[in-house]
Amino acid sequence: MSVPMVDLKVQYETIKEEIDRAVLGVIQSTHFILGPHGKALEEAIAAYHGVKHAVAVASGTDALHLALIAAGIKPGDEVITTPFTFIATAEAISYVGGVPVFIDIDPVTFNMDVAKLEAAVTPKTRAVIPVHLYGQAVEMDPLMAIARKHGLKVIEDCAQSFGAGYKSRKTGSFGDLGCFSFFPSKNLGCYGDGGMVITNDADLAEQMLSLRNHGSRVRYYHDRIGFNSRLDEIQAAILRVKFKHIDTYNAKRRQNAMTYNSILSAAGVRTPSELTNTVHVFHQYTIRVKNRDAVKERLDKGGVTSSMIYYPVPLHLQEAYRNLGMKPGSLRGAEEAAREVLSLPMYPELTEAQIQAVAEAVKKAM
Ligand SMILES: Cc1ncc(COP(=O)(O)O)c(C=O)c1O
């Protein structure tokens, strides 16, 4: 047995007929850009999150970039975020000329440590981007209270957390804007690139609609310099099919995580923690291992399971952010996580036998 990190083929096989029909329908309609599927998907995703507006865009990175423009972030503005995320979170800040300000993470959840947020606020701070990493929500109540006190915009990075909950609400519905990625391996993924922004603010939604389409709301009239960042109809049609199954997919991920937990925690492995007020959707199933690199090497050689390191270098120590002048040791929680995290195969269709094989291989490699 050889278990991959993600198996998109096995999922496609289970929904093949619906997907094929949806894709063919778009081709036959020849309505490829900004059509009925995109609009229906936006309505369905807004309703799912209990928000008023959703605007589909071309990727999760674009969702963050355009959200920051809509939120009015300007060159020199400081935006507080986590160093332990995919670089797109910080890149979006850099695209608008903003300065990413990294604060350390909570070693239990791997998310931004909200207790460190207020101390990082300066007169130049304009926004905060919490990232719901691996599928678990950031502590949004205290975060929102600090943001509101200091007049900061909140842009949630929900690229890994579609369907995740905090208290009784879903991630993306707390801040001013919530940004999603539909990259193929995400909890809700299309068959290419895609993204979405949700908001309750009609003005922000209007701006997003304009920004994604060359600064235009009326054809060939351009109110601002915008972008070509539309979700195409084929991807929207695929997402509408997959969206019908998202709660089942997330429930299966949770069940798989519990199966992993029961085998691995009995063996003394540091398994992921789910806080009591969150519903974790396990975009990644990530353990902590002191001798991580040696364990990963043994797993790679054993050939039973794939494993991945998300992320080996925190953003404050990346070459791309050398200009920030941050040194090793400045954000110890993130640096230690980068040395110890190891993500194991996780997708809804994993079988119990596969999970057992992976867990046994991990135990043997420790
Ligand atoms: C936390 C995070 N933010 C942003 C992105 C960017 O999304 P995309 O790849 O759709 O541009 C990703 C995914 O790749 C991500 O994991």
Residues 135 and 180: beta-carbon distance below 8 Å: no
Using the 8-state DSSP alphabet, how is residue 317 labeled? G
Ligand 1: nearest atom to the Cα of 59: 10
Ligand 1 center–CA 158 separation, angstroms: 9
Tokens of 245: 């199954």
Query: Which residue CA neighbors atom 12 of ligand 1 most closely?
Result: 159
**Cβ neighbourhood burial of 63 (10 Å; 0-12, 13-18, 19+):** buried
CA of residue 286 to ligand 1 center, whole Å: 17
For residue 283, the ligand 1 atom closest to its alpha carbon is 16
Atom in ligand 1 nearest the alpha carbon of residue 133: 1
Q: Running DSSP on this structure, what letter comes out for residue 46?
A: H
β-strand 153-157 against 177-181: which pairing, if any?
parallel
Closest residue to atom 7 of ligand 1, CA basis: 60
Token couple for 209: 């609609």
pLDDT in the model for residue 81: 99
Q: Residue 69's pLDDT is what?
A: 98
Expressed in angstroms and rounded, the spacing between residue 289 Cα and the centre of ligand 1 is 25
CA proximity to 129, closest of 202, 210, 61, 193: 61
Look up residue 259 and give its two tokens.
């199966």
d(C-alpha 243, C-alpha 354), whole Å: 25
Q: Which of 5, 86, 131, 283 to mutate to test the pocket of ligand 1 (most atoms within 8 A of CB)?
A: 86
What are the pLDDT tens digits along the chain (366 aa)? Answer: 899 999 999 999 999 999 999 999 999 999 999 999 999 999 999 999 999 999 999 999 999 999 999 999 999 999 999 999 999 999 999 999 999 999 999 999 999 999 999 999 999 999 999 999 999 999 999 999 999 999 999 999 999 999 999 999 999 999 999 999 999 999 999 999 999 999 999 999 999 999 999 999 999 999 999 999 999 999 999 999 999 999 999 999 999 999 999 999 999 999 999 999 999 999 999 999 999 999 999 999 999 999 999 999 999 999 999 999 999 999 999 999 999 999 999 999 999 999 999 999 999 999
Span from the CA of 187 to the centroid of ligand 1 (angstroms):
12
In angstroms, what is the span from residue 61 Cα to ligand 1's centroid? 6
Question: Would you state the pLDDT for residue 1?
Answer: 85
- β 153-157/125-129 pair status: parallel
Measured in Å, residue 105 CA sits from the centre of ligand 1 at 19
Q: What is the pLDDT of residue 48?
A: 98
Q: Kindly list the protein residues whose Cβ atom lies closer than 6 A to any atom of ligand 1.
A: 59-61, 85-86, 88-89, 131, 157, 159-160, 181, 183, 193, 195
Question: What is the residue with the minimal CA distance to atom 13 of ligand 1?
Answer: 159
User: How many angstroms is it from 63 CA to the middle of ligand 1?
Assistant: 9
